[in-house]
Amino acid sequence: MAVVGSILAGFYMVVIAAAWAMFGEGILPIAVVGSVLLVGVQYKIGKWAALRSVGAEALSEQQYPEIHRMVETHSEEMGIDKPELKIARMGVPNAFAVGRKGAGIVVVSEELIQLLDREELEGVLAHELAHIANRDVVTMQLGQGIASIVGIAAQFAVLLTGDNDIADFFLAIVVGNVVQFVVMIFVLAISRYREYVADADAKRAIGDGDPLARALEKISRGNQRGAQSSRGGRRGRGGRQRDGGVDQQVSALCISSPDSGFLQKIVSTHPPMEKRIERLRS
3-state secondary structure of 108: strand
Total structural domains within the chain: 1
Beta strands in 2-157, from DSSP E residues, in sequence order: 57-58, 84-88, 95-100, 103-109
- Average pLDDT of the chain to the nearest whole number: 84
- Sort strands 103-109 and 84-88 into parallel, antiparallel or unpaired: parallel
Backbone angles phi, psi at 57, to 5 degrees: -125, 160
The model carries a pTM of 0.82
Note the pLDDT of residue 209.
94
What angle is formed at CA 251 by the lines to CA 248 and CA 253, rounded to 5 degrees? Answer: 125
Query: pLDDT, tens digit, for every residue of 212-257?
Result: 999 999 998 877 765 555 545 444 444 443 444 555 556 666 776 6
Q: Which amino acid is at 104?
A: G
- 182 contacts 263 by C-beta, under 8 angstroms: no
What's the confidence (pLDDT) of residue 13?
Answer: 86
The residues that are catalytic are: 128
Residue 200: give the domain boundaries. Answer: 2-281
Q: Are strands 84-88 and 241-242 parallel, antiparallel or unpaired?
A: unpaired
pLDDT digits (tens, 9 = 90+) for 86-142: 999 988 899 999 988 888 999 999 999 999 999 999 999 999 999 999 999 888 888
